[in-house]
C-alpha cells in the first residue's frame, strides 16, 4: 500500500475527546501499576521514544521537508509542521539560548490535558511526558541527540505549558536503536 506524499493533514480525522480519554486512561493505568510518579514519568518517556522513532518516518513522508541545516530550522519545522500535523496546535518558539542550542516551545493549550486535573497525591507526575519521548526519539532518528523536558505545565498551575529542548550533539555513527 503506497502512500502519496502530498496526502496532507486531513487524511484521517478522529475525535479529539477519544484521543484525550485514551491518553488519560493510559496514564492512570500506569499510575496504578507503578506506585511512584518517577517510574511513571520514565515509562511515559520510554513509550514516547518508541512512538517517536516510528513517527518520524510518517512525518517525513507526509511533510516532504528537506534536511534542516541548523537547529533553528529544526525548531521551526517541529513547531509549525509537526505539532500542527499531529496535535492540531502550533506552539510558539521562544527563549533561545545565546549559543543557539536551546529553545522553548510554548503551548497555549495542550490537547492531551483537556479536562484533566492532577490529584494531590500525584504532584510530581509529568502528565504529558510522552511528548518529550516522542520528540527525543524522532530527532534521534535524524541524527540529533536532544534533551527535552517540561519546565511549565498548566496542570501544575502555570499559565502555559513550556517544553525546553536542548541540542546535545549530532549523532555521527549509526548506533543501533537498542537503547531500551
Partner 1 sequence: MAVCIAVIAKENYPLYIRSVPTENELKFHYTVHTSLDVVDEKISAMGKALVDQRELYLGLLYPTEDYKVYGYVTNSKVKFVMVVDSSNTALRDNEIRSMFRKLHNSYTDIMCNPFYNPGDRIHSRAFDNMVNSMMMQVC
Residue among 11 and 28 whose Cβ is closer to partner 1: 28
Residue 168's SS3 state is strand
The answer to whether 49 and 133 are in contact (CB under 8 A) is yes
Stretch that binds partner 1, among 24-32, 43-51, 59-67, 78-86 (CB under 8 A): 24-32
Q: How far is the CB of 102 from partner 1 (least distance, A)?
A: 32
Residue 157: Cβ within 10 Å count: 8
Stretch that binds partner 1, among 21-29, 51-59, 159-167, 170-178 (CB under 8 A): 21-29
Q: How far is the CB of 24 from partner 1 (least distance, A)?
A: 3
Interface with partner 1 (CB under 8 A), residue total 15
When asked if residue 37 is in the footprint of partner 1 (CB under 8 A), the reply is no
Q: What gap in Å lies between CA 21 and CA 30, rounded to an integer? A: 14
Q: What gap in Å lies between CA 146 and CA 45, rounded to an integer? A: 13
Q: What gap in Å lies between CA 111 and CA 114, rounded to an integer? A: 6
Interaction site with partner 1 (CB under 8 A): 17, 20-21, 23-25, 27-28, 114-119, 122
Amino acid at each position: 500500500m503506497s502512500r502519496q506524499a502530498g496526502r496532507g493533514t486531513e487524511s484521517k480525522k478522529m475525535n479529539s475527546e477519544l484521543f484525550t480519554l485514551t491518553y488519560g486512561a493510559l496514564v492512570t493505568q500506569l499510575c496504578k501499576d507503578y506506585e511512584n510518579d518517577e517510574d511513571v514519568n520514565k515509562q511515559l518517556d520510554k513509550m514516547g521514544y518508541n512512538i517517536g522513532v516510528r513517527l518520524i518516518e510518517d512525518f517525513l513522508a507526509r511533510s516532504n521537508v528537506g534536511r534542516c541545516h541548523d537547529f533553528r530550522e529544526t525548531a521551526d519545522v517541529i513547531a509549525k509542521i509537526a505539532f500542527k500535523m499531529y496535535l492540531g496546535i502550533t506552539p510558539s518558539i521562544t527563549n533561545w539560548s545565546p549559543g543557539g542550542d536551546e529553545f522553548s516551545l510554548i503551548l497555549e493549550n495542550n490537547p492531551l490535558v483537556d479536562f484533566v486535573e492532577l490529584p494531590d497525591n500525584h504532584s510530581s507526575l509529568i502528565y504529558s511526558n510522552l511528548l518529550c519521548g516522542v520528540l527525543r526519539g524522532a530527532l534521534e532518528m535524524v541524527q540529533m541527540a536532544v534533551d527535552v523536558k517540561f519546565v511549565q505545565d498548566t496542570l501544575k498551575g502555570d499559565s502555559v505549558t513550556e517544553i525546553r529542548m536542548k541540542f546535545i550533539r549530532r549523532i555521527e555513527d549509526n548506533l543501533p536503536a537498542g537503547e531500551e
